[in-house]
Chain A
């Protein structure tokens, strides 16, 4: 169920014909009928099948690797080891247009001598069939001599701890020093201190990593791959040692990303073997490969110490965060930066110290995952708000109200978000949405929890992000959009279509969108960081507006009117106050064509550019803008078995402006599920770095039987920096779900489980400890 609220103050003169309507997405019919090819559906004649051979110990020296038997097997075309790809590493993120890079610790493509995590690739096989590739994998002999590893970030920080690489295990450190924290604590009536722990999480997209690569007649390596980032063509080219214009990445509609396809996955392996063999090569990960084949969400240990007055005003906040970065750097420095910036949440904290570290271990490397550090911070700051409220005896929503950051106020970095901050409106609606309390019976207790959030949309502003889109109108009045954006299932490309046709006055069935080709569609950047709608949506809008202006100018000439008197709607062009003066769009387009007037427009949208945050104080601009909202839940807890059931799940988000409310609701529903699993049941367990939950039989995401009806309350402040005032919803939809559940469980049983997931056993243990004390 969806309920939409628009602030009457922002309604003025805004009337949309296409935007804001739950239109059938352009990608829906193909997906529903099964006609849409995903990356794994592409095959080529004479194609080889690949297999990756992986280390089965997390910390070891590669003493021996013998691939001779595999190479000798009939039907094996190629086996590559580090000996053939000497000293090559694969960068793990596009570094941004400024050329800034993370610490120079990219992962070697294949292990040469040192294994740093369980599953690290040792060799690549290409063979005539999958069976032969599998057989060859069994013929590869290797010996790993265990090296003492480190599997706990706190251990990794101790002097004398085994080193994962480099001189110490500190991958990144960030800090905020704002106001006078000591004075703030001195003014406090009470200081509340707690430590919260968050777990690894697996993206678990429906479509495991897959791709097909071939070398074309121009010697260009083409890669058809399931990815969030087609602009990895640059690090792929660097990794295989060819110029950037000799690698072309073609996406396909993606079966889920969530950050797990933000880093390189199979691309470099495919490129190497396509080049080596001269034949098309295909690599598809099994689910088991996928579990060890991409980075996870960072587990965090977050220690919050909050000074508050008796009436609940925060006077000071000190936060220490330690994130497990795993065995390689990947996006860890950015993830802890997001956590740092998000540390106080959507609250006004003028005296703030934050210190955030990413620490290397021999666990699976960690990288991007929906929420990207800001979610882990929310998990802590929202549980902390409940702890403060309960200690002071103040209503939990009221405590939040007394501290909410308001529109126009400076956030943690001193930056003033340009848009409206509607946290309070969202929190009130979500909380009220819980309705009448559910009954308690026998060992069943019920409880309620609320969590509010601040989540950025758009990439870090010091990366100088840009996005391009091209919009053209055909001779029959139909519209074409071209943009390199990847669509990972959230309706990214359909939204571009909806924006373009809104501006050009046609309907969505009149548009075709070409996307996700690094060579022929204008480069649009990544589908990450809740940026696709913001960045590429703005680019598409600019392009469509540029084209419309040219068409309107010609129409104005035709009608003897001024260009700003022209409107375009329902495939017609007319004078606004004299609608009898009209012509079909197709007629105008033909006139323009005959006169050589340009019928297309290429636009680039530039996010705000900033310098890096001040390294000492953490002050400055980190992101273009922020989204705000709240999630409320009601749970029941069986105090004998510890089982938790989510009874009600209510989301209220200010999305700025819905482009497609059905797609927005889809994101909110998915975020509620993703966050519920994170809070309650999803657990990646590692023993000495070895994954012991390697399949969906052990790794438990909520099923339909576990999910309540999720109610979506969509607010539209129309204040965002995206197209038509849109903000973003991809990441925000998930951020507050888990702490809301944690708060509800604590409300139900009167004691908090400080570590997620909140398993039945942890609930029972917390209750037993409470009873014992």
Chain B
């Protein structure tokens, strides 16, 4: 059923990065939860020669709630998010996504970094992290760098991570006062389904004016992406139904969905518009 592969199980981060650096021309893949990778290997979409298991690399665990920023380790699982009252308070959209993420077993083992790195256009944790302005720490044996999540995806299943790098940390600034942060997952059933349309919104309001708008969409483009065209309509404005409509239309115009077995492109575009309008309206009504 599975093609044979070698498995390294390093016990610390240096060991893991060294194992990734020394591929010697072979396909070496890191594996944490494996909830995507094992499925892909079984279906022969991925054929690694060697895998580097991250299950004993404890440096990738933990959450840090600073006064300015929140940071979580790459091995943080979806269930870890759900168990954290601080995350619930600081990143409500991430909890919205985590609650409907896969099934319980997948939530218990699937990691946040893995969801980002798998590069699926339907990755549920990515729209919330995008509207939180998340930043990734990418480490290799030779260097460590940080990169805005917004700059991470280059195209369908293409990303800025080099094969010898790991996503070790994900961090984001605390939301300003008077902000709303939500995510809506539209799928063909409630539990354990691939997203048809995902919309995440952050809105910050000061003195009756929208000071910051973030809108990110899943499953309606080759990558999970922000729609800055729509954000620009809202920022600096006192929102009105007409303005929100304009932003929703801009989001629908900006997305590039396809027809697939779950839904047509036309339906996806329709729901991007409806859900953007809905989430922005709800956020504005709550804050203004």
Contacts and interface: CB of A to CB of B under 8 A. Distances in A.
Nearest to B4: A131
Contacts of B1: 130-131, 134, 286
Contacts of A33: none
Contacts of B190: 645, 703, 705-706
Interface string B253-288: 000000001111001001100110010000000000
B264 A761 contact: yes
A320 interface: no
A725 interface: no
A703 B196 contact: no
Interface string A276-305: 000000000010000000000000000000
Contacts of A705: 189-192
A681 B194 contact: no
Interface in A682-714: 683, 685, 692-693, 697-698, 700-706
B283 to A, nearest CB: 15
Given A131-B1, A643-B186, A759-B188, A693 B261 contact: yes
A700 B188 contact: yes
B41 to A, nearest CB: 14
B278 A681 contact: no
Given A134-B1, A641-B275, A643-B186, A761 B263 contact: yes
A640 interface: yes
Contacts of A645: 190
A698 B267 contact: no
Interface in B46-69: none
Nearest to A693: B261
Given A131-B1, A760-B196, A706 B267 contact: no
Nearest to A286: B1
A690 to B, nearest CB: 12
A645 B191 CA distance: 12
B160 interface: no
A680 B191 CA distance: 14
B267 A761 contact: yes
A161 interface: no
Nearest to B273: A640
Interface string B108-126: 0000000000000000000
Contacts of A643: 186
A702 B271 contact: no
A641 B271 contact: yes
Nearest to A687: B261
Contacts of B270: 764
A641 B192 CA distance: 19
B51 to A, nearest CB: 18
A645 B274 CA distance: 18
Interface in A244-269: none
B186 A641 contact: yes
The prevalent SS among residues of A at the interface is loop
A642 B271 CA distance: 9
B38 interface: no
A640 B188 contact: no
A681 B271 contact: no
Nearest to B1: A134
A697 B186 contact: no
A683 B263 CA distance: 12
A286 B42 CA distance: 12
B215 to A, nearest CB: 17
Nearest to B184: A641
Interface in B178-232: 186, 188-194, 196
A705 B262 CA distance: 19
A3 B186 CA distance: 36
Given A685-B261, A693-B261, A703-B192, A640 B274 contact: yes
Nearest to A640: B274
Contacts of B196: 760
B267 A764 contact: yes
Nearest to A702: B189
Contacts of B271: 640-641, 760, 764
B105 to A, nearest CB: 13
Contact of B278 (A640, A701, A704): A640
Contacts of A704: 191
A706 B189 contact: yes
Contacts of A764: 267, 270-271
Contacts of B192: 703, 705
A645 B188 CA distance: 11
Contacts of A697: 194
A683 B186 CA distance: 17
Nearest to A135: B3
Contacts of A701: 189
A286 B188 CA distance: 25
A698 B193 CA distance: 8
A764 B264 CA distance: 12
Contacts of B103: 703
B249 to A, nearest CB: 14
10 contacts: A286-B1, A443-B278, A701-B189, A703-B103, A703-B192, A759-B188, A759-B263, A760-B188, A761-B267, A765-B267
The 4 closest A-B pairs by CB, nearest first: A703-B191, A705-B191, A640-B274, A705-B190
